Amino acid sequence: MRGLEEGLGPRPTATPCGCAKPALETGNLLTEPIGYLESCFSAKNGTPRQPSICRHSRACLRIRKNIFNNPEHSLMGLEQFSHVWILFVFHKNGHLSYKAKVQPPRLNGAKTGVFSTRSPHRPNAIGLTLAKLEKVEGGAIYLSGIDMIDGTPVLDIKPYIADYDSPQHLMKPLGDFNLQNNRLKPRTMSQSDGKTDSCDQRQLSGSDGPQPSRITNEKHRHPEDGAPEENVPKHSSTTKIQQTWTENREIAVDFGLESRSSEGRTVAEQFGPPGQEKTLLEEGIDKRPRSMESALILQESSMKTQHVTPPCPAWVADRASHSEVPAWVKEAPAASLQVRFTPHAEMDLGQLSLGGEPGAGKKSFKYFQSAEEAKCAIQAVLSADPRSVYRRKFCQDRLFYFTVDTAHITCWFGDGFAEVLRIKPASEPIQITDPEESLVSL
Ligand SMILES: C[S@@+](CC[C@H](N)C(=O)[O-])C[C@H]1O[C@@H](n2cnc3c(N)ncnc32)[C@H](O)[C@@H]1O
């Protein structure tokens, strides 16, 4: 992507023997968008942070003719799938910048590694969205439940196949695994300070993180939209990834792990070779049959301390998808907001859906099918609190603007709620390109 920004194509890379490796071999891929998304969101401001937030958010993607002479051929059979993965470029990131740690909104200012988030600011500015496939028509697909803005360059479409794309085995923590000596450790105390480790400290970078404490059955949430961190602290705090060495290697193969190696060992082996499981069983630590999972916690810590499992769960099982996520993803402090509309806003919406003033003959919505749908979408966007952490903290008394479909919305945020004040045709107000410009003092 950097090559693209700088206008340099992928270059052959010299190998030790002096010969040039082709671009694909080195991972230098010159991408060409298969199409540019037409989306109901015209700017980043107010665009949902994840596709699941707003099911009425709609988009259309037309496959470009310079990719395939007959774009419709490339979409043949796709209509049989209900959902598709969309790979795209965060083309409105501004200049390409990324940091190792970011501050996702759900962490309210705390930091975590960029690869544990869905931040748009990453080394290769590539986004991944699971969207509902509404229909395929000729060389175009129609989507809903999207989180991409209008004009987004799309790199690829892949069908969503639950059997491949959703983990089938519930990952259960059995105990801590100390990578230094390959042994299970009892869940008691941190050897570094002799105190019981708390789950929040274990989870978050820095000590200013929130205090996740309970497991909820809330709708799945995402570590979304992390802004790059300001300062990179020298010591990274502990991050543990709970993974399981499941019944056999097939799963690792399914996930493409078997063939990748690191320092002579495949990733699958690093997760825990079967021999290791046997050792654990022999030690009587896990009495379960060999076919059941044993757990491995991968530790990342620049401090030479041993970390242990906290008394409260720092990961939570997502029962629907049989996977686990850190607690902060589900229980982060950003609560969902109540959304209300002033009578004036309700009236605006009614008028907009009719195409403006009676007799004005203006076009109403392009993507929404009714005023009710538009209202649902506005509610969904606002209840997830689309403000950045900075705005939430320091610009509470400001109006917030965003555009969805043909509606330009003006609202404000109070304690635990968002109120829609006005809804006007998007063509009327001044077009806001810089999100900061959308902040106006009340
Ligand atoms: C947090 S990202 C998540 C995107 C995707 N679901 C993922 O996980 O990679 C979604 C946010 O990216 C921003 N965004 C969407 N399309 C964009 C684009 N083309 N360029 C830059 N930012 C974009 C919007 O602010 C949106 O709220």
- Better pLDDT: 299 or 65: 65
Residue 212 · residue 329 · CB < 8 Å? no
Task: Tell whether the model's pLDDT for residue 207 goes beyond 90.
Answer: no
In the chain, ranges of CATH 2.40.30.70 domains? 35-165
Band of the pLDDT at 22, cuts 50, 70, 90?
A: confident
Report the pLDDT averaged over residues 56-65.
97
Q: Which of 4, 44, 130 to mutate to test the pocket of ligand 1 (most atoms within 8 A of CB)?
A: 44
Token pair recorded at residue 125: 């500015």
Q: Going by CA atoms, what residue is nearest to atom 10 of ligand 1?
A: 49
How much of the chain is in helix, strand and coil states, percent to nearest 5?
Answer: 20, 25, 50
Band of the pLDDT at 191, cuts 50, 70, 90?
A: very low
Ligand 1 contact via 147 beta carbon (within 6 Å): yes
Task: Tell whether the model's pLDDT for residue 71 goes beyond 90.
Answer: yes
Q: From 3.10.20.30, 2.40.30.70, 2.40.10.220, 3.30.70.270, which CATH number describes the 35-165 domain? A: 2.40.30.70
Band of the pLDDT at 226, cuts 50, 70, 90?
A: low
Q: 345: closest CA among 314, 393, 379?
A: 379
Report the pLDDT averaged over residues 205-226.
39
Q: What is the pLDDT of residue 329?
A: 82
Out of 26-30, 90-94, 438-442, give the one with best mean pLDDT: 90-94
Ligand 1 contact via 385 beta carbon (within 6 Å): no
CA 84 to ligand 1 centroid distance, Å: 17
- Better pLDDT: 111 or 197: 111
Report the pLDDT averaged over residues 244-269.
39
CA 148 to ligand 1 centroid distance, Å: 5
Task: Tell whether the model's pLDDT for residue 434 goes beyond 50.
Answer: no
- Better pLDDT: 191 or 266: 266
Out of 6-20, 223-237, 403-417, give the one with best mean pLDDT: 403-417
Question: How many residues in total does the chain contain?
Answer: 442
DSSP state of 116: G
Task: Tell whether the model's pLDDT for residue 160 goes beyond 80.
Answer: yes
- 403-424 pLDDT, tens digit each: 999 999 999 999 899 999 999 9
Q: What is the pLDDT of residue 12?
A: 57
CA 360 to ligand 1 centroid distance, Å: 35
Scan for tokens 């003959």, then name that residue. Answer: 361
Please, what CATH class does the domain formed by 333-425 belong to?
alpha beta
Q: Give helix then strand counts, H and E, for the chain.
A: 12, 24
- 341-360 pLDDT, tens digit each: 999 999 999 999 887 555 55
Q: Which of 53, 90, 114, 121 to mutate to test the pocket of ligand 1 (most atoms within 8 A of CB)?
A: 90
Ligand 1 contact via 93 beta carbon (within 6 Å): yes
Token pair recorded at residue 324: 């686990």
Residue 216 to residues 15, 35, 221, 316, 327, Cα–Cα distance (Å): 52, 39, 11, 9, 10
- Better pLDDT: 118 or 360: 118
Ligand 1 contact via 55 beta carbon (within 6 Å): no
- Better pLDDT: 364 or 156: 156
Q: What's this model's pTM, rounded to 2 decimal places?
A: 0.66
Q: From CA 67, how far away is CA 337, in angstroms rounded?
A: 43
Out of 196-200, 290-294, 394-398, give the one with best mean pLDDT: 394-398
Q: Are strands 112-113 and 101-103 parallel, antiparallel or unpaired?
A: antiparallel
Task: Tell whether the model's pLDDT for residue 151 goes beyond 80.
Answer: yes
Band of the pLDDT at 275, cuts 50, 70, 90?
A: very low
Task: Tell whether the model's pLDDT for residue 298 goes beyond 80.
Answer: no
φ/ψ of residue 155, rounded to 5: -95, -30
Scan for tokens 């015209």, then name that residue. Answer: 42
ipTM value for the complex: 0.99
Band of the pLDDT at 96, cuts 50, 70, 90?
A: confident
Report the pLDDT averaged over residues 315-335.
69
- 34-60 pLDDT, tens digit each: 999 999 999 999 999 999 889 999 999
Q: What is the pLDDT of residue 277?
A: 39
Q: Going by CA atoms, what residue is nearest to atom 9 of ligand 1?
A: 127
Scan for tokens 């050792």, then name that residue. Answer: 279
Q: Which of 85, 147, 388 to mutate to test the pocket of ligand 1 (most atoms within 8 A of CB)?
A: 147
Ligand 1 contact via 403 beta carbon (within 6 Å): no
Percent of the chain with pLDDT over 70: 55
Mean pLDDT, the chain, as a whole number?
70
CA 102 to ligand 1 centroid distance, Å: 15
Percent of the chain with pLDDT over 90: 41
Q: Going by CA atoms, what residue is nearest to atom 16 of ligand 1?
A: 148
Q: What is the pLDDT of residue 265?
A: 53
In the chain, ranges of CATH 3.30.2310 domains? 333-425
Task: Tell whether the model's pLDDT for residue 164 goes beyond 70.
Answer: yes
**Which range among 40-54, 97-111, 303-317 shows the weakest confidence by mean pLDDT?**
303-317
Q: Going by CA atoms, what residue is nearest to atom 13 of ligand 1?
A: 44
Band of the pLDDT at 97, cuts 50, 70, 90?
A: confident
Q: Which atom of ligand 1 is nearest to the CA of 222?
A: 8
Q: For residue 268, how many other CB atoms are within 10 A of its CB?
A: 20
**Long-range pairs for 363-368: beta carbons < 8 A, 24 or more residues apart:** 363/406, 364/406, 365/405, 365/406, 365/407, 366/40, 366/405, 366/406, 367/40, 367/57, 367/58, 367/59, 367/405, 368/40, 368/56, 368/58, 368/405
Band of the pLDDT at 396, cuts 50, 70, 90?
A: confident
Q: Going by CA atoms, what residue is nearest to atom 15 of ligand 1?
A: 148
* Secondary structure in 3-state letters for 53-66: HCCCCEEEEECCCC
